[in-house]
Amino acid sequence: MKTDLTKLELNSFITASKLKSKDDTFNGYPIILDEGYTVKGFLLKPIKVGDNLLLMRTNRNGVEQLGMFTTSKILDIQDDVVQTANSYWKIEQNESN
C-alpha cells in the first residue's frame, strides 16, 4: 500500500532518493545533486505543491550527517514521487531512523 505523501505527519522519518534532474534545469542552480543521491531525515513541514521539501537530515548517501535538507519548490506529487522545479524525488516513509 502506498503512502499518501500529503498526509505524512510532521517529524515522520523519511528517505528521499533523487531519481533524475529535469531536462530544463538551469545548470548549477543552486546545486545539482547526482541521480541516486539519498537523504534520510525528519519531515519539518507537510509535503505539498507550492512548498519545498524540508528535512532535518540525519543521513546523506549512507553516512551519518546531521544538518538541514531542502529541495526547490514542489510542482507535482504522483504516488511516491515528488516533482520539484529541478528534480524528481522518490519519497519513502521509514519505520525508524
Q: Total domain count for the chain?
A: 1
Per-residue pLDDT at 22:
77
d(CA 72, CA 94): 23
* Residue 30 CB partners (closer than 8 Å, separation 6+): 72
pTM for this predicted structure? 0.88
d(CA 35, CA 89): 9
Domain that holds residue 20: 5-93
Per-residue pLDDT at 90:
97
d(CA 80, CA 72): 17
Under-70 pLDDT residues of the chain: 1-2, 24-31, 96-97
